[in-house]
Chains A and B, each alone.
Chain A
Amino acid sequence: MRTPLLQLKGVSKRFGSVIALSDITIDVFPGEVTCILGDNGAGKSTLIKVLSGSHTQDEGTFSIDGEEVVLTSPRAALDKGIATVFQDLATIPLLSIWRNFFLGREPEKGFGPFKKIDKALAKEVTRTQLLEMGIDIRDPEQTVGTLSGGERQAVVISRALYFGARVLILDEPTSALGVKQAGRVLKNILVAKSRGIGVIFITHNPSHAYMVGDRFYLLNRGKLVNSFEKENVSREELLRAMAGGAELAALEHELKNAGEAQ
């Protein structure tokens, strides 16, 4: 039995009398895409915050490499190699690509007060790292604002990977994007996966999840209602499970009736 890279066991989180998460158990393996599916209000955001260290769980355990840890801040999570990619919350549009890439972790050369950024190194690393993500930017001096949403996200992901992330949490990365851009994001996910990263892909879109996912967890009203592995589930089954089978059938029936009535 493999040891999961990251594991939640029986995790619960309450806010006052509201139970946001209850008894959540999730395994994340390296080189796999773990999808967490759920509708609005299912508890996805709380789960992300627990995973990324913004919240600490009330019950249950959080383990990395089989070792129990308590994360008290996003910084602590980052130090353990857990990087969270928030949708359009991590790049500065008017700053160049390479400055964004190294923001907060600039490589320097020189001594004492004459320390300056090693621009040549920074630009070269940015270019090659993005090339590995399948993006040829050529001019790292371009501002990030000139990139498309999917490309911007590739910058954030390649930055996280370059700085040693082992678990990558993507929060609704495709929700605000068009079909083409969403495709770019799914490609980003597969690149991260192929590099042995444990990717956590949080979404309410089962089609996107099915295209890249290896294992699926369905969240509803703060509880884990179902989980699948890729080989045991078809796209339709996943869709149905996500929509809550019976409800979907009822909706189909209703729409059909409405169509006939016209």
Chain B
Amino acid sequence: METKPDERFVKPKLSTRVMRRPEFGALIGALSIFVLFAYFDQSGQFVKLGGIARWTDVASTEGIMAVVVALLMIGGEFDLSAGVMVGSSGLVLGLLVTKVHLNLYLAILLTLIFGGLIGLLNGYLVVKTKLPSFVVTLATFFLLRGFNLGFVQLWTGTVRVDGLHNAKGYEGVYRALATTVWAPNQFNVDIFWWIGVTILGSWVLTQTKIGSWITAVGGDANAARNSGVPVRNTKIGLFITVSLAASFVGIMQCIKFDGMQASQGVGEEFTYIIAAVVGGCLLTGGFGSAIGASIGASIIGIAFIGISFANWNTDWNYAFLGGILFAAVSVNTYIRRRAERAKK
């Protein structure tokens, strides 16, 4: 059969292709907000290394979670228990070390297993019941939230678990997860974990078949199944990844602050989702970027630290987040319409 080049097809210009990237909007947003807070900065430290060390520390813990939450969202699901899982995991680690007197390394391993199991439970319930993950993980969220407070108070009589620094091996773990480097700027090592998770997430998403499957499952689960993608396992795997990452962040924070508050992490799940959405993830699934989610986390870090450096009341943090979210979703919707525009 004879073919001729499609004269309607014009290779988009480089600038157009860059603008169509899901990360593009977030990058512009991050730069604008950085400039904004550099302008309003009262301390004179914001644009210096010390200031950057502050906001990258915030962005790191948000960013590790934002990347995995982005993958889950691209896979078409939500995990509302992701925030509280950070708290639960920190508490589990704290209790295992200070109350059960387990070896620190063993306790960390058990905490990660706990995280994986909660993820498995979330994922299994979602694919088994076919209920929206929003509802299933909302239930997990409240269950964990209740357990965090109830169980910790029952066992310790307080709402906080602390005193891990006496455990054997604490120094080494602290150096790996929570210490600061490059004095006197005090960059936290969690930045390296954040960068590592971002690279890994992006690699999986763009270079491996799992990445194709995640996008396909979130784009159209039926079509993915018809094409031979293991839809259920892909989704369950994503839930496990998110919970594992939450456990990891919980362990990091528990080591960093030498303990855990029972209410830690509650509400953070939405911050992760905001970071992912600001980074170009569609709420409907099937589209997004791991690097974008990390940039989204940077925006949150810059805004939170920027607000305090500007001597504004930090109560405004959340209003700021809301504004960013709304702007980002508007931009993303516009981008998606362009990407999806069919020649029907």
Q: Which of A89, A95, A133 interacts with B216 by CB under 8 Å?
A: A95
- Verify A136–B5 contact, CB threshold 8 A: yes
A90 engages B223 (CB within 8 Å): yes
| Min distance, Cβ A110 to any Cβ of chain B, angstroms | 9
Instruction: Confirm or deny: A213 has a beta carbon within 8 angstroms of a beta carbon on chain B.
Output: no
| Interface presence of B229 (CB below 8 A) | yes
CB-based contact A92/B219 at 8 Å: yes
Query: Which chain B residue shows the least CB distance to A75?
Result: B228
Of the candidate stretches A34-42, A137-145, A204-212, A234-242, the one touching chain B is A137-145
Indicate whether A108 sits within 8 Å of B209 (C-beta atoms), given known contacts A95-B215, A134-B3, A139-B9: yes
Q: Which one of A100, A103, A134 has the greatest number of beta carbons of chain B within 10 Å? A: A103
In angstroms, Cα B221 to Cα A90, docked, is 10
In the assembled complex, how far is the CB of residue B256 from the closest CB belonging to chain A, in whole angstroms? 29
Contacts of B339 in A (CB 8 A): 94, 143, 145-146
Mostly, the B contact residues are loop
Of residues 51 to 106 in A, which have CB atoms within 8 Å of B's CB atoms? 75, 78, 86, 89-95, 99-100, 102-106
Task: Tell me which of B207, B220, B222, B223 has the highest count of chain A C-beta atoms within 10 A of its own C-beta.
Answer: B223
CB distance from A194 to the nearest CB of B (A): 8
Q: Is A222 an interface residue (CB 8 A)?
A: no
Interface of A is mostly: loop
Chain A nearest Cβ from B219, distance in angstroms: 4
Task: Tell me, in angstroms, the Cα distance from A90 to B220 when the chains sit together.
Answer: 9
B342's partner among A102, A115, A135, A146 (CB-CB below 8 A) is A146
* Contact residues in B for A137 (Cβ distance below 8 Å): 6, 9
State which of A93, A136, A148 has its C-beta within 8 Å of the C-beta of B3: A136
Q: Does A147 contact B (CB under 8 A)?
A: yes
Q: A117 and B212: CB pair below 8 A?
A: yes
Asked if B286 and A138 make an inter-chain contact with CB atoms under 8 angstroms apart, the answer reads: no
Tell whether A149 is near chain B: CB-to-CB under 8 Å. Answer: yes
**Interface residue B343 (Cβ < 8 Å from any Cβ of A):** yes
B1 touches A191 (CB 8 A): yes
Determine whether the beta carbon of A94 is less than 8 Å from that of B1.
no
Contacts of B208 in A (CB 8 A): 115-117
Complex formed: what's the CA distance from A119 to B203 in Å? 13
Give the distance to chain A from B330, nearest Cβ to Cβ, in Å: 19
The reply to whether B215 and A94 form a contact with Cβ atoms under 8 Å apart is yes
User: A interface vs B, CB < 8 Å?
Assistant: 75, 78, 86, 89-95, 99-100, 102-106, 108, 115-117, 119, 131-139, 143, 145-149, 187, 191
Using a CB–CB cutoff of 8 Å, the interface residues on chain B facing chain A are: 1-6, 9, 11, 203, 207-209, 212-213, 215-216, 219-220, 222-224, 226-229, 286-287, 336, 339-344
Q: 6 nearest interchain CB pairs?
A: A104-B228, A106-B209, A92-B219, A116-B207, A103-B227, A134-B1
Pick 9 A–B contacts, CB within 8 A, sort by A: A75-B228, A91-B223, A93-B220, A93-B340, A94-B286, A95-B216, A103-B216, A116-B203, A149-B344
